[in-house]
Amino acid sequence: MVVGVHRPTRLVIDRAALRHNIHAEVERLDKNCELFMVVKANGYGHGAIQVAQAAKDAGATGFCVAILDEALELRAAGFNDPILILGVTSPADAPLMAAEDISATVAATDWLADAQAYLALEKDLTAPLHVHLALDTGMGRIGFRTVPELTTAIEYVDAHQESLDFEGIFTHFSTADSPDEHYFKQQVAKWHELTDHLPRRPRYVHVSNSATSLWHAECNDNMVRFGVSGYGLNPSGTAIKPPYALQPAMSLTSELVFTKQIAAGDSVGYGATYTAQQAEWVGTVPIGYADGYERRLQGFHVLVDGHACEIIGRVCMDQIMVRLPHDYSRGTTVTLVGQDHGAEITLQDVATYCETIHYEIACGFTSRLPRRYLN
């Protein structure tokens, strides 16, 4: 998709906010605990390369991604730090991951056998493939579920140390962001059941996502995977207050490109779903659902000169219409996410209106929106 650089709509990413959030968490960690910044999905929509650099500046020592291509993007950008792929990759890509010093998540012993077969075909590899064994303690997504399965996997890796390196072991908590700790404690118990009698500990032992590190730091062990909180977003939404102030790094702004006054009885937008009850000033803003600005945001609001201005009519593919308190000149700033004259719209506000989570909103902004970086 083309980037809309000749349009006044853009995402603004504050690198100082990224550094603040990440450094604040680094300062809370035990001295033997490392922070890997999660930069999957283009850095949760913030820009993976720019986020990775800000994270490294703030004390992160490695990165987590979801797919191999995201890891390769970091390598191509010159990052030589440890990178862990959190998702399952193809065993056929094991030689490429080994060559690029990228760590793979492993969820089954047959994957190890298939990967080892591909690695054995490569005569020029100088280092083994680093693997992190994923444990399913209750997330129900990927991972080993029993001690015999895990033991078999570790024994297989140890038997093929020339091509496989047992670098890490981890799990993922599904309710660490909830005030109700019942299921979280069940997962902790399952983790200990699987790991307390390991024949040996690998270099990295990690269970903590952002929520776990914020509210259950006693579980951190020697690495945390810091994700959404690094971007200044509360992983619990509004359910639990973070231990320190998070600074949102993303804002979304545009401009009025057209204004007009409509009369009582005039309708606006597809389906004529909005009809004016009196004379009103209406402004058009160049953003729409093709940019990831959800169609269901009809009835929500934007900020113009600090005023909350309702989105009237359906959100179009490329434009929205808003009701103004009075006429404004073309080029007046419109804030869709962020602060404006003392008023604020947060990603959480947008997500709440859409009955979803702020992760989805941030990741949903498309590449047509240019990212501008501050600080």
- Selecting among 185, 241, 260, 270, the annotated active-site residue is 270
* Statement: 250-374 belongs to CATH 3.40.50.1820: no
pLDDT score of 124: 86
Residue 156 structure tokens: 């297989």
Active site residue 40: yes
Is the Cβ–Cβ distance between 88 and 142 less than 8 Å?
yes
pLDDT in tens, 304-353: 999 999 999 999 999 999 999 999 999 999 999 999 999 999 999 999 99
Is the Cβ–Cβ distance between 46 and 13 less than 8 Å?
yes
Known binding residues for substrate:
141, 317
pLDDT score of 126: 87
pLDDT score of 298: 98
Other Cβ atoms less than 10 A from the Cβ of 18: the count is 29
**What span, in angstroms and rounded, lies between the C-alpha atoms of 208 and 220?**
6
Residue among 136, 146, 132, 147 nearest 197 (CA) = 147
pLDDT score of 199: 87
Is the Cβ–Cβ distance between 126 and 101 less than 8 Å?
no
pLDDT score of 123: 85
Known binding residues:
141, 317
Q: What is the CATH number of domain 32-231?
A: 3.20.20.10
- Selecting among 31, 40, 185, 231, the annotated active-site residue is 40
pLDDT score of 349: 98
**What span, in angstroms and rounded, lies between the C-alpha atoms of 251 and 28?**
27
- Write out residues in the chain with pLDDT < 70, as ranges: none
Domain ranges of the chain: 32-231, 250-374
Active site residue 241: no
SS3 for the chain, per residue? Answer: CCCCCCCCCEEEEEHHHHHHHHHHHHHHCCCCCEEEEECHHHHHCCCHHHHHHHHHHHCCCEEEECCHHHHHHHHHCCCCCCEEECCCCCHHHHHHHHHCCCEEEECCHHHHHHHHHHHHCCCCCCCCEEEEEEECCCCCCCCECCHHHHHHHHHHHHHCCCCEEEEEEEECCCCCCCCCCHHHHHHHHHHHHHHCCCCCCCCEEECECHHHHHHCHHHCCCEEEECHHHHCCCCCCCCCCCCCCCCCCEEEEEECCEEEEECCCCEECHHHCEECCCCEEEEEECCCHHHCCCHHHCCCEEEECCEEEEEECCCCCCCEEEEECCCCCCCCEEEEEEEECCEEECHHHHHHHHCCCHHHHHHHCCCCCCEEEEC
